Amino acid sequence: MINVPKILLIYTGGTIGMRRDYPSGSLKPFDFQKVLDEIPELRLLQCDIEHCAIARPIDSSDMHPQVWIEIVEIIDQKYHSYDGFVILHGSDTMSYTASALSFLLQHLDKAVILTGSQLPIGDLRTDAKENLITAIQIASLTTNGKPSIREVCLYFEYKLYRGNRTTKISAEQFEAFDSPNYPPLITSGVHLEVQTDILLKNMGQLPFKSYKSMECSVGILKLFPGITKDFVEAVLLKSDLKGVVLESFGSGNTTTSNWFIDLLEDMVNKGFPIVNVTQCSGGEVSMGVYGTSVELKRIGIISGKDITTEAAITKLMFLLANDPGDYQHLKLKFEESIAGEIS
């Protein structure tokens, strides 16, 4: 008897798990007990497919770190019983979840792939079937008898991306995601074109490890022309935050107003982590290149390099909860790659 890969579908909610009730026009949850009846093409895949769901499936707009931990617990409990995992997720916060899971699930030796859809599974022009079928197929891929993909990924519209490199770019197009600073790991056409040289490689040197805590008391401060001292102080001083991701201009530039630099320096001196990321859709922070970022480098602001905002905020949550240390320790850890999230 030929052993075939076992894949576990984990349903969290979202459009891909809905089908339209045509008399009323409303969307209703899809019964995954009947998944093979709805998508008979799945029978053509050379793998065994089982499924489960989180305790209370949600719209992805309600996603919360507690749900990330619930997903981690499912994978942790069933890790050695399956050869790959496919997580069905709403698209709105999928990049946040993919980023978080890449830090919470480390040294993977099998695939964890998030996917979803822009249209419900029963719609005539739905993208759900292709996304689901190909995500399962990719999770089943093997090389020399072992899973080919060994990281947290996101599959959408013919492309498999490293999960912590993605961002949602469209609420209407089927091509809803992009990975501006890292190429697709797989492109799906007539054949699956696997870019083996850019895959994250564990190769079994380190055992799988899961983490089950995140620090939620963090925030994002997006700069804009005319930002006021009162506003920045309200974010940094009048809250219980334990860290902030600062979305700056261009390659990491900010206003050079004395009040702004002095405030940031005071926070850094208190051990309050501030991570500098760019507002641009692509590129990276390179503090010190322009005069408007020299002071940020001097006072010790953490460089996010080419990390996405989604990965930056979840990485900060992860480090504060699991490896905080003092400011310099956290700065060092943040500026190092944990799961391929920075170059």
Q: If you average pLDDT over residues 198-223, what whole number do you get?
A: 91
Which residues belong to CATH 3.40.50.1170 in the chain?
6-210
Of 15, 97, 115, 126, catalytic: 15
**In terms of Cα–Cα distance, which of 55, 70, 150 is closest to 102?**
150
Report the distance separating Cα 314 and Cα 316, nearest Å.
5
Which tens digits make up the pLDDT trace of 16-68? 777 666 666 666 666 666 666 677 788 888 899 998 999 998 888 999 999 99
Q: Are 98 and 60 in contact (CB under 8 A)?
A: no
Banded model confidence at residue 174, pLDDT cuts 50, 70, 90: confident
What is the topology classification, in CATH, of domain 219-334? Answer: Rossmann fold (3.40.50)
Question: At a CB cut-off of 8 Å and minimum separation 6, what does 52 contact?
Answer: 8, 9, 10, 11, 74
**In terms of Cα–Cα distance, which of 157, 119, 130 is closest to 20?**
119
Which residues belong to CATH 3.40.50.40 in the chain?
219-334
**In terms of Cα–Cα distance, which of 225, 185, 218, 197 is closest to 98?**
185
| Per-residue CA distances from 236 to 72, 228, 233, 261, 265 (Å) | 31, 13, 5, 13, 12
Token pair of 138, please? Answer: 């990719």
Beta-strand relationship, 105-106 and 142-143? unpaired
Q: Is 15 a catalytic residue?
A: yes
Q: Classify domain 6-210 at the CATH superfamily level.
A: L-asparaginase, N-terminal domain (3.40.50.1170)
pLDDT of 263 strictly over 90:
yes
Token pair of 287, please? Answer: 């503090």
Q: Are 49 and 7 in contact (CB under 8 A)?
A: yes
Which tens digits make up the pLDDT trace of 70-111? 999 999 999 999 999 999 999 999 999 999 999 999 999 999
Residue 26: the pLDDT is 63
**In terms of Cα–Cα distance, which of 241, 256, 247, 264 is closest to 317?**
241
Cβ neighbours, 10 Å, residue 6: 15
